[in-house]
Structure 1
Amino acid sequence: MRDLDLPTLEPAQGSWLDNPAYRRDFRERTAGIRDGGSWKLERVQHFEEPANRSPSREALRKGDWQASLRLLEERRESLLSAWREDQRRNYVFHRVRVVEWPLTPYVQWELHSLRQQSAYGVPVRVISDEADAVRSRETRGRLPEIVTHDGSALHHVRYSEAGDPQGAYLFTDPAVVRPWEDYIKGLFEAGEDVRTYVERVVAPLPPPRLTTAGTPAADAEQRTR
């Protein structure tokens, strides 16, 4: 992918939205897009989001891996409904997931979730944190969590150290939004389709486990991928 001069996401140049305001703004912006799309970059390896935790995610938190996978299957009708609405508007929500090894339980679960979403019209690509396109941008810290909306707006989503959502900074300057959107598009082109990635790498893994303290931990067997 070609080198891009990415602007710094200075908070003073954006507008802060607390979590309810961010979610509302996100919904309104995506709902308003016709014949276009959004681009999401996911870099954090563990999220909590207790207010929006799905039954499948809750099963993972409790350590019931098989129930977690089974509960994913129960949302197919809602995914189909969302796909039909996106088709009506000719809207596409693209996602790029950066992965680190060993996988956290959250990312191991999320990759299964993303594979299912990809079957219902959500293009998802996976890229390693060791890829040049990622590593060359992380000399001063990890890439940010970002969602861009058809080149017109960018949400820089912020989380606590524990992975709880705090809100987002909103940027609407094209000089900020477009380079970041182009960068995410480049990562998407360089990444692997989530369906083949899960089948090749993730599906054979043992179930994720929790530490005795109740916090997520990756299975040691993953270290020998």
Structure 2
Amino acid sequence: MPDRNALELPLSQGERLSLEAYRSEYRQRRAELRDRHSWKFERQQEFEERDDSWEAFRRGHWEESLRLLGEEREALLKTAQRDRERGTAFHRVRVVEEPLTPYMQWELHALRVQSEAGKKIRVVTPAALGSLETTGPLPEVVVVGGQVLYQVVYTEAGVLDGAIRFTDTELTKRWERFIKELYEAGEDLLSYFERRVAHLSPPQPKAV
């Protein structure tokens, strides 16, 4: 486990990307990737999504929200198959705090569909981070093919707002090793879901 200093992301070394620029660059890099894996570390417990399932949940329509998540399965299966053909995979480590926030309960249902479609997702608790967060939560990070690191940026409300790109080789490798270690120590998403989420009552959305 690295120390916190080794995982610092100095703003002076990064380049801020708008949401549009980040999405475009990320899609291109992933599409061109061959025989290299990518890694995501997701820490925050609250976000605001921009998709139909999330909007249905916010309106209090839980069953509709789950139905809409299920409709994404076919596209997810195709993406997972394409990744296998290219010799690449997207590994995701999701830090989960309990008791679950309403958002997190919704997201775990979304991740369940992704995992069932072949996406590689594991769960860790904050305890797995040891003393790394004594000065505050770790950032949201994506490492694509060992070549570039993105610190994902969100607004105060939790809406995706672009990223900061880092290309320093050693920094990218340190984060990749860190996320990989967490992934190897984590619990499979489906196992965690059946053990800790499946039995829960529908979450209540925040008042809007």
Q: How many residues align?
A: 206
CA contact (8 A) 1:47 1:163 kept: yes
Q: What is the identity, as a one-letter code, of the residue corresponding to 1:103?
A: L
Deviates more, 1:97-106 or 1:9-18: 97-106
Q: Is 1:150 equivalent to 2:148 in the alignment?
A: no
Q: What is the identity, as a one-letter code, of the residue corresponding to 1:166?
A: D
Matched with 1:30 is: 30
Matched with 1:223 is: none
1:68-217 equivalences in 2 (<5 Å)? 68-129=65-126, 131=127, 133-211=128-206, 213-214=207-208
User: Identity of paired residues, percent?
Assistant: 52
CA contact (8 A) 1:92 1:121 kept: no
CA deviations over 1:2-43 (Å, ceiling 9, x no partner): x22423101110111011111111111111110111100111
| SS of match in other structure, 1:209 | coil
Q: What is the identity, as a one-letter code, of the residue corresponding to 2:178?
A: Y
Offset at residue 84 of structure 1 (A):
2.2
TM-score (normalised: structure 1): 0.87
Q: What is the identity, as a one-letter code, of the residue corresponding to 2:125?
A: S
Q: What is the identity, as a one-letter code, of the residue corresponding to 1:75?
A: E
Matched with 2:15 is: 15
CA contact (8 A) 2:123 2:187 kept: yes
TM-score (normalised: structure 2): 0.94
Structure 1: gaps of 5 or more residues: 215-225
| SS of match in other structure, 2:7 | coil
Distance 1:210 1:115 in 2: 20
Q: What is the identity, as a one-letter code, of the residue corresponding to 2:187?
A: E
Q: What is the identity, as a one-letter code, of the residue corresponding to 2:68?
A: L
Compute the RMSD of aligned alpha carbons.
Answer: 1.3
| SS of match in other structure, 2:149 | strand
Distance 2:108 2:62 in 1: 13
| SS of match in other structure, 1:56 | helix
